[in-house]
Structure 1
Amino acid sequence: MKIEQQIRRKYAHPNLTIHVKQGYVDESLDAFRINYEGTRREPINLRFDVLGSPEDDYSFVIYEVFRSAEALDEHRKTAHYWECVRRIDPIISAPRSKTFVWRCQTL
């Protein structure tokens, strides 16, 4: 089993990097907003951040925290998730990069 699969089963903190085509920043933020607003209403979601790169206006990181891996799977079945994917897919300039992270300790 891949380490990503092991982490995903234990922790549900996806970290997604998306690069959008030049001229599509507003459209991407509209799509992210749809997913953000829907996701934050889900009781299984604990956090949803859209972060922009200070070096690249067309690069975004989406950081989410879900109660469990199963909760993340449920989220991926929602209409707002799929609406965001539908809007983002045509305007990305590179494949999405996805990693899973977890809190090692509280400082």
Structure 2
Amino acid sequence: MSLLRIRQCLDLLPVINKAFPKLVVDIDCPISKWEDASAEGYLKYSLNLLEFLNSISSSLSYLGQARLALSHALSLVENSPSLPTGRLKAIQPSGFSKDCGRRK
């Protein structure tokens, strides 16, 4: 699956999320009429979706920072092939964990 396809899928999520309340109004079934479990399920789903999108946004931001650092390192190598190895710093992974998306 390409990055473009993933982006298209992610762009569709907010559209679906905005269309759902309109559907609820159109079928005359406001949240106040829902059973407790249904309302709780919808709110839990919405929270999980928000956490998921925030995680993706954070990961994309990290990838952008890593790309910038790599571009800078490559420009150092191109401009001065014998000197930059002493100035290059390893990119430290941050923001990723094994427990991503799991509640504590």
Normalising by the smaller structure, the TM-score range is under 0.3
Highest RCO, 1 vs 2 (Cα 8 Å, sep ≥ 6): 1
Which is higher, the Rg of structure 1 or of structure 2?
2
**TM-score (ref. length: structure 2):** 0.26
Q: Hey, which of these two has a bigger chunk of helix by percent?
A: 2
